[in-house]
Amino acid sequence: MDSTLQTTVPNRRRLLGIVVMIGIPLLQLSTEYLGTRDAGRLLSKAIVLLIGLPLLVVWAFAVFRWASRRRFGALGPLFMGAIAAGLFFAGLLWATRAATLSFATLRPHYPHYGPWSGVDVLRVGFAMGVTNFAIWALAFIFPFAVEDAHVRALEADKLRTQAELAQLRAHLEPHFLLNTLNAIAGLVTEDPHQARQLLGNLGDLLRDSVGPGGEMETLQEQIGWLRRYAQILETRHAGHLTFRWEIGDGTPGALLPRLLLQPLVENAVKHGALMRDGGGEITVRTERTGPKLVCTIEDNGPGVPNKETRPGAFGLVSVRRRLAMRYSDTAALRLESTPAGTRSVVELPLEQGGAQ
Residue 125: half-sphere exposure toward Cβ, Cα within 13 Å: 23
Domain extent for 219: 213-349
Report the SS3 class of residue 171: helix
- Structural domain count of the chain: 2
Among candidate residues 301, 263, 295, the one with its CA nearest the CA of residue 282 = 301
pLDDT tens for each residue of 222-254: 999 899 889 888 888 888 899 999 999 989 999
**Same domain, residue pair 242 and 141:** no
Show which of 111, 132, 154 is a domain's final residue: 154
This prediction has a pTM of 0.53
Report d(CA 195, CA 183) in Å as an integer.
8
pLDDT tens for each residue of 19-74: 777 777 777 777 777 776 766 667 777 777 888 778 877 777 777 777 666 655 66
- The three-point CA angle 222-207-202 to 5° equals 85
**Same domain, residue pair 255 and 338:** yes
| Under-70 pLDDT residues of the chain | 1-14, 16-17, 36, 38-41, 67-76, 98-118, 142-178, 208-214, 305-314, 354-356
In a domain, 124, yes or no: yes
Helices 142-190, 192-210: axis angle to 10 degrees equals 170
**Same domain, residue pair 131 and 247:** no
**Same domain, residue pair 74 and 149:** yes
Among candidate residues 257, 231, 262, the one with its CA nearest the CA of residue 169 = 262
- Alpha-carbon Rg for the chain in angstroms: 35
Q: E-assigned strands of the chain? A: 216-218, 241-247, 255-257, 280-289, 292-299, 332-338, 341-349
**Same domain, residue pair 113 and 242:** no
In a domain, 194, yes or no: no
In a domain, 192, yes or no: no
Q: Could you tell me how far CA 132 lies from the centroid of its own chain?
A: 33
**Same domain, residue pair 143 and 12:** yes
Find the CATH number of the domain harbouring 218. Answer: 3.30.565.10
In a domain, 172, yes or no: no
Among candidate residues 188, 184, 226, the one with its CA nearest the CA of residue 204 = 226
At residue 5, the pLDDT reads 35
At residue 267, the pLDDT reads 87
Among candidate residues 171, 149, 172, 152, the one with its CA nearest the CA of residue 160 = 152
Do 245 and 286 meet the contact criterion of CB atoms below 8 Å apart?
A: no
At residue 7, the pLDDT reads 42
**Same domain, residue pair 24 and 150:** yes
**Same domain, residue pair 149 and 217:** no
In a domain, 301, yes or no: yes
